Amino acid sequence: MRTGPSQDEIRRQNLGALLRYVHVHGATSRAELTTALGLNRSTIGALTADLAGAGLVSEGAPKETGRAGRPSLVVRPESERVFAYAFSVEVDRLRAARVGLGGELLDRRDVPRAHGSTAAEAAPLLTALVKEMEQGTSTGAVCVGAGVAVVGMVRRTDGLVRSSPTTGWVDEPLGELLRAGLGTGHPVAVGNVADLAMLAEHVRGVAVGCDNVIYLHGDAGVGAGIIAGGRRVTGHDGYGGEVGHMVVNPHGQPCGCGSRGCWETEIGGPALLRAAGRDGVEGQDAILSVVDPAARGDASAQAAVRQAGDWLGFGVANLVNILNPEMVVFGGTMRDLYLAAAAQVRSRLNSMALAACREQVRLRTPKLGDEAPLIGAAELAFERLLADPLDV
Amino acid sequence: MRTGPSQDEIRRQNLGALLRYVHVHGATSRAELTTALGLNRSTIGALTADLAGAGLVSEGAPKETGRAGRPSLVVRPESERVFAYAFSVEVDRLRAARVGLGGELLDRRDVPRAHGSTAAEAAPLLTALVKEMEQGTSTGAVCVGAGVAVVGMVRRTDGLVRSSPTTGWVDEPLGELLRAGLGTGHPVAVGNVADLAMLAEHVRGVAVGCDNVIYLHGDAGVGAGIIAGGRRVTGHDGYGGEVGHMVVNPHGQPCGCGSRGCWETEIGGPALLRAAGRDGVEGQDAILSVVDPAARGDASAQAAVRQAGDWLGFGVANLVNILNPEMVVFGGTMRDLYLAAAAQVRSRLNSMALAACREQVRLRTPKLGDEAPLIGAAELAFERLLADPLDV
């Protein structure tokens, strides 16, 4: 009985699996690939030959192991030759990077972003950064895709930036603008910054091997990337993870979204400034302008940090009850707040989350730092290649 | 190049896919199976013959179509011959059912559950119901598994009931107790009632075809079954969905979990009774003892329903922001509350949830009613058979 996937489909799946493996794990011996992918040696050899023929991997001798016997050849991703462009639109800057297959940051640039500037203004600035980077790109190198991380709600079907309070953007076709500007013909995948930072930390960072993770990202607002059962949770339309607008304090402050007492009104920069009796600072600087004095012993700053940390733990406890993650990662400004108020966060978690839901959870900060959105945008861009390596 | 899944694996996958299709969709013509499964006619014929040989499906002429030409044979699940036992442990009763392949409720029984009775006391009562049902089971019928829905937190790895405030159970090996009592040798799969009601509604009920759903289940407490990206979200240890312990009112009532102002303290029976100035009723009856007078015009009951409905919408809005579902289903006591206070729920959703997150969401009540936990427990029990039809 000959049924099921065709030979072509199986070959495509296996090529994708092998390429994804070396993309994620780096240089890997044929012997290890055989074990990891559950394929025999001759198949691994044939797949590697196909990928090498397409310029996606190279084979070579491993580093000296000191062990006797003929060493297994090592398969490496062609990081210098095969790359994606990754972009990040942030409150006060625009970033672009060239990321090699395997996740290597080959080059990166940034320019300031003017307050109030539009997507139509951002796109040419980003493509200008690409032109700069092209100078340093070796002949024969191939761009296989592009991705962009944006602070805002991104429609799953087409990457439209529906709403981004931070930049003021509404219904901006950012991916389309970038695609037109790049002129490479590749679609530009668009993702929310928290989703993409989560993706990066899941593939290459602190959450490797974790199937149930909540990644909190703070900037002007607070959002989350969620992984459940090993897969990204983006919701029906792509707008999932808006945890900053979970209402935690019904009698709290009005929120920019029109509601009141949203989580981000209690843990964001403005809340810290308000509690500490300061003002006039924005974004990441706002958090630091309170966290730093608190670390130096300023009593009013310390009280403000404790209060915001208490609310941070409050919301985390809610999310732990709802999603029973094995890890919560505090990224962006939430990293600074968490590090300054870990005791408050843990205390709230212990008092508010059910024991069964919280007992396995680890609280962590990101491993990839500021690069996470770019790495994540590149991961998104590599998806097409990894799904069908010889078709891109 | 011969790689990838073996012939045996492909055959097993295809047998499972065909059996799952008729299990979910009922009698299906060979022609439709060919299209739905993407396999050719001769393969469908061979797979059907294998499944029929194992007694899992039968083939026969379709009902008269009135159309000319030779009709395509119809493949039916052997619902009378192949069945699972499904159990439900509830606050005040124990239920058992015999559910045929295809989801047909062939038989069901229940007995009262004494307040404070243990899992060790429940298991023999449930197996006694099975003995009763065995009288009516035709010769040659085969039990392929068993599943049980329980109000409580169920550990994913082994089905241990970690904690169930409703029954007072702590660390009860309910599945093991039932397996020993049944003596069929099959493991007994254990699931949380909200998760299993969600599963039932997703496979056969109101949420068919929906990939992102929140199913709220109310009884003495409130829990949720969550489906994201088409898959059940159960969390790292199986304890996800404890939405009843999301704190919505920091200055609210103490909750049995040790926290304060949990969602279930505002939308559960006790909250309604308190708001309406009544007492002395428990469980589903508590909700109805306020909702019914409200429907008849009782002003204090109406005010209580409005207040609880407002809190119901409050929590739903939070969940919609976090998960961006396409449907929220109100089950158990939440069905009664929602039907009585749909205006409050919708109003809160509109004022508190972000437009992008809520604009596609449909609010619904279950289609399967009280049977959902039993149907869901049976679905859990059928999983093994559907994964490898000829091995069970």
User: A357 vs B321: CB contact, 8 Å cut-off?
Assistant: no
- Residue B69: pLDDT band with limits 50, 70, 90: low
* B70 touches A: beta carbon within 8 Å: no
- Residue B7: pLDDT band with limits 50, 70, 90: confident
CB contacts < 8 A (A, B): 197
Q: How does the average pLDDT of chain A come out, rounded?
A: 93
For A286-312, write each residue's pLDDT tens digit.
889 999 999 999 999 999 999 999 999
Q: What is the ipTM of this complex?
A: 0.94
Query: CA separation (Å) from A10 to A7, A327, B3?
Result: 5, 35, 7
| pLDDT at residue A72 is higher than 50 | yes
For B226-248, write each residue's pLDDT tens digit.
999 999 999 999 999 999 999 99
The sheet with strand B222-228 has its strands ordered as B231-233, B222-228, B213-218, B327-332, B362-364
The ranges assigned to domains in chain B are: 7-66+73-77, 82-197+371-387, 209-366
CATH topology assigned to domain B209-366: Nucleotidyltransferase; domain 5 (3.30.420)
* A135 touches B: beta carbon within 8 Å: no
Residue in chain B nearest A318 by alpha carbon: B246
| pLDDT at residue B71 is higher than 80 | no
- Residue A64: pLDDT band with limits 50, 70, 90: low
Contacts of A14 in chain B (CB under 8 A): 3-4
Angle at B360 between CA B355 and CA B363, to 5 degrees: 105
Reading phi first (left if > 0) and then psi (alpha if -120 to 50, else beta), residue A111 is in beta
* CATH of span B7-66+73-77: 1.10.10.10
At B1 the pLDDT is: 40
* Percent above pLDDT 90 for chain B: 83
Region of poorest pLDDT, from A268-272, B85-89, B269-273, B280-284: B280-284
The residues facing A172 across adjacent strands are: A161
Contacts of B317 in chain A (CB under 8 A): 247
The answer to whether A218 and A332 have CB atoms below 8 angstroms apart is: yes
For B249-260, write each residue's pLDDT tens digit.
999 999 999 999
* CATH of span A208-366: 3.30.420.40
At B68 the pLDDT is: 64
For A374-385, write each residue's pLDDT tens digit.
999 999 999 999
At A138 the pLDDT is: 87
Contacts of B225 in chain A (CB under 8 A): none
* A6 touches B: beta carbon within 8 Å: no
User: A237 vs B325: CB contact, 8 Å cut-off?
Assistant: no
Q: How does the average pLDDT of chain B come out, rounded?
A: 93
SS3 B254: strand
DSSP A247: B
Helix/strand number for chain A, H first, E second: 14, 16
For A193-237, write each residue's pLDDT tens digit.
999 999 999 999 999 999 999 999 998 889 999 999 999 999 999
Contacts of A247 in chain B (CB under 8 A): 248, 314, 317-318, 352
* CATH of span A7-77: 1.10.10.10
At B4 the pLDDT is: 58
* A239 touches B: beta carbon within 8 Å: yes
Name the CATH superfamily housing domain B82-197+371-387: ATPase, nucleotide binding domain (3.30.420.40)
At A243 the pLDDT is: 98
Asked, colleague to colleague, whether B82-197+371-387 and B209-366 share their fold, the answer is yes
For B13-66, write each residue's pLDDT tens digit.
999 999 999 999 999 999 999 999 999 999 999 999 999 999 999 998 876 656
At B392 the pLDDT is: 67
Reading phi first (left if > 0) and then psi (alpha if -120 to 50, else beta), residue A241 is in left
What is the spatial distance between Cα A243 and Cα A262, in angstroms, rounded to a whole number? 9
Region of poorest pLDDT, from A255-269, B186-200, B276-290: B276-290
- Residue B190: pLDDT band with limits 50, 70, 90: very high
| pLDDT at residue B282 is higher than 80 | no
Question: Residue A335: how many CB atoms within 10 A of its CB?
Answer: 20
Contacts of A249 in chain B (CB under 8 A): 250
* Mean pLDDT value across residues B93-119: 95
